[in-house]
Structure 1
Amino acid sequence: MEASPTTSDVRSIIEPLYRGKFWMQLIGVMMIVYGALTALSIVGIIIAWIPIWAGVVLMQAAGAVQRAHAGGDPAEAGQAMGKLRVYFTIFGVLTLIGLLLMIISLIFGIGAGMTGMGGM
């Protein structure tokens, strides 16, 4: 039978995240503000939900880290890790989409340059 983690086990495991909690909250707030500012433009209103969502998830992760460290609750520690997984998944997908769009733009740019030079 598996032994459940003690309060001190949870606190020692979550300690590095607890020490970085301020930065998680700061980045979460900045992401929410960035999303709100992005929503002020017509095109930005379409994508503004993404940074707002990421900011809210990061703020939730920071709150769960706080609760896990204060109470030594393994469920809260698990919730914090789950929220961080969602945050990194969002930015992983966005990074892949950005790289794909960059490669497509590069291919079209090279093609347009070759076409333009062929007419000379």
Structure 2
Amino acid sequence: MSDQFASLGQAGANQSVRELSQPLAMGSGWMKFVGIMFIVQGALTAITIVGILIAWLPIWIGVLVMQSAGSIERAQASGDANALKDALAKLRTYFVIQGVLYLVGIVLMVLYFIFFGAMLAAMMKSGGLPH
């Protein structure tokens, strides 16, 4: 009798995973599209000399998003809780990377304004802008 109850409990868990993963599974096509676009961006970035140093980042992000889309589709189709957990972990990594990149961008922008503001102030103090 315990086997019957275990199978019933498992069926309920599979259904819950399917229901929870449905919203993301419905958007998995868009997730794959975004992943492919990141990979293409990384490949185009790698064409330049400086781009070779940072091209791995968009490629990595694209692979993460595509893997997450595959995992979410697997979780929705089979009710696999581990696939759902894997998909969400990969999405978490994607958002952490994006957040760090935004913070780095903000810091670089502030440094840019400070540096060029100081240069403009120095040029104004020394007699104006060059003609």
Query: TM-score if structure 1 supplies the norm length?
Result: 0.94
- The one of 62, 87, 97 equivalent to 2:94 is 87
Query: 1:64 aligned to 2:66?
Result: no
- The one of 19, 38, 57 equivalent to 2:45 is 38
For 1:25 and 1:31, locate their aligned partners in 2 and report how far apart those are by CA, in whole Å. 10
Look up the SS of the partner of 2:47 in the other structure: coil
Q: CA RMSD in A?
A: 1.2
Query: 1:53 aligned to 2:60?
Result: yes
Letter in 2 for 1:60: Q
Quote the residue 1:29 is aligned against. 36
For 1:56 and 1:71, locate their aligned partners in 2 and report how far apart those are by CA, in whole Å. 22
Number of residue-to-residue matches in the alignment: 118
Query: 1:102 aligned to 2:106?
Result: no
Runs of 4+ in 1 over 4 A off after TM superposition: none
Gaps of 5+ in 1: none
Quote the residue 2:3 is aligned against. none
Q: Percent sequence identity over matched residues?
A: 46
For 2:99 and 2:58, locate their aligned partners in 1 and report how far apart those are by CA, in whole Å. 13
Larger Rg: 2
Quote the residue 1:113 is aligned against. 120
Instruction: Report deviation, 1:8.
Output: 1.4
For 1:19 and 1:100, locate their aligned partners in 2 and report how far apart those are by CA, in whole Å. 36
Gaps of 5+ in 2: 1-8
For 2:17 and 2:110, locate their aligned partners in 1 and report how far apart those are by CA, in whole Å. 44
Letter in 2 for 1:18: A
For 2:43 and 2:14, locate their aligned partners in 1 and report how far apart those are by CA, in whole Å. 39
